[in-house]
Amino acid sequence: MVIGIIEDDALLNQALEIVLKKEGYDTVCAQSKEEALALTEGRVDLLIVDIGLPDGNGIALYQEIRKAREIPAIFLTARDEEKDMLDAYQAGAQDYVVKPFSMKVLLKRIQVVLGRSGSEAFLSCGELLLYPRRRQVYVSGQEISLTAKEYQLLEYFMRNQDQVLTKENILENIWGLDGEFVVDNTVSVTINRLRKKIEPDPGTPRYIKNVFGLGYRMGEQEK
């Protein structure tokens, strides 16, 4: 997944790149219209575009890019004016963010836009990102290696976040008919192995938590 950052503020450009890479995205960066036109010739799945560029208007730039190819875009601007917002959406923008903004909020908006555009579906929970097509999992931007059953188990949990999943649910969906023949502690052993790979502190799970007498639930620990 490649995100193009078009932002003339060097510090903000760098900050965006660091945050996005930590979340598991690849990035390409530009600080001007000229650089942006060059970078969009390669693979880019989403653009983050500053409206005010030193050599042109970000909205006009995006309109020019869209003549060649369709890339979803989120616009950044320091001006909270209705006309700017309307112009951005008229140009085909998927979203519009006013500076200063929260990086966490921007990341959520990126996830929504990518999911809406169908560029690449993924599942997320906190610092976890799972890409079903590629069968890849990232924790805080770092790819981790899972066995086939650990991956299937994690995907099952992430597709059913905030729901209580019983041992029987898990055996039926992950082991299928084989579930009738696995030993009694197979589910708990596999979950414990998975926790060691995804949890900051496996002893105090943040993602996969026991629900006493019922089973397990996935969801971020309340702060």
Return the minimum-mean-pLDDT range out of 72-86, 117-131, 206-220. Answer: 117-131
User: How many helices (H) and strands (E) in the chain?
Assistant: 8, 14
- 113: confidence class by pLDDT, cuts 50, 70, 90: confident
Q: What are the b/e assignments for 65-88, b being 16+ CB within 10 Å?
A: beeeeebbbbbbbeeeeeebbebb
Set out the domains of the chain in order of their start, with CATH numbers: 2-119 (3.40.50.2300), 125-218 (1.10.10.10)
pLDDT digits (tens, 9 = 90+) for 133-192: 778 888 887 889 999 999 999 999 998 988 999 998 898 888 875 556 677 788 999 999
DSSP 150-188: HHHHHHHHHHTTTSEE-HHHHIIIIIGGGGGTS-TTHHH
Residue 223: per-residue pLDDT = 41
Nearest to residue 106, comparing CAs of 223, 25, 160, 222? 25
The length of the chain in residues reads 223
Helix (H) or strand (E) holding 88: helix 82-90
Mean pLDDT of the 40-68 span: 86
Question: Does residue 197 surpass a pLDDT of 90?
Answer: yes
Q: What is the pTM of this model?
A: 0.54
Compute the average pLDDT of residues 121-140: 82
